[in-house]
Amino acid sequence: MPSLIGPDATPGENAIALVGCLVGAALATAEAREKHRGLVRTLVLSALAFDLVRGVAANATHAAARVWHRSEVPPLKQFMFAAAHIHPFVATCTTDAPTKWAAHTYGTMTVATIATLLAPQGAPSAC
């Protein structure tokens, strides 16, 4: 089975990502159907939930850290990956969410990405 996370992911990491994204997609589908969103909107919302939950689960794994967060990956590439996640704007097309919410969410994500990329490597954790 291809990995949902990246090369060298363990079966457990893949299972966590798969179960999480299937549950996320199922919950989004149920919510969209309850709100009578229609087939296309339901499919889009389910795909968004699948991708978002998979991404959250994947980024928390050692496999993702080894592949996507290694020092050889240029900061611009990491930033562009984050910037490509236009999910909030897609959500406004399929729900009643206002565009202002999408802009705020996307802006917050962008600032957090920049702060993370500019943080000194190996800095002590606040936790």
| pLDDT, averaged across the chain | 86
Mean pLDDT, residues 98-121: 91
Name the token pair of 88.
């909030």
pLDDT band per the 50, 70, 90 thresholds, residue 105:
very high
8 Å CB contact between 80 and 22: no
* The pLDDT of residue 124: 63
User: If DSSP states are collapsed to H, E and C, what string results for the chain?
Assistant: CCCCCCCCCCHHHHHHHHHHHHHHHHHHHHHHHHCCCCHHHHHHHHHHHHHHHHHHHHHCCHHHHHHCCCCCCCHHHHHHHHHCCCHHHHHHHHCCCCHHHHHHHHHHHHHHHHHHHHCCCCCCCCC
* The pLDDT of residue 83: 93
* The pLDDT of residue 23: 93
* The pLDDT of residue 94: 84
Work out the percent of the chain whose per-residue pLDDT is above 90: 33
Least confident of 13-22, 42-51, 66-75, 100-109: 66-75
* The pLDDT of residue 47: 92
- 57: amino acid identity, one letter: A
What is the C-alpha radius of gyration for the chain, rounded to an integer number of angstroms?
16
Domain edges within the chain: 8-70, 73-120
Q: What is the pLDDT of residues 39-96, one digit of tens each?
A: 998 999 999 999 888 888 888 888 887 777 778 889 999 899 889 999 899 988 888 8
Does this model's pTM top 0.75? no
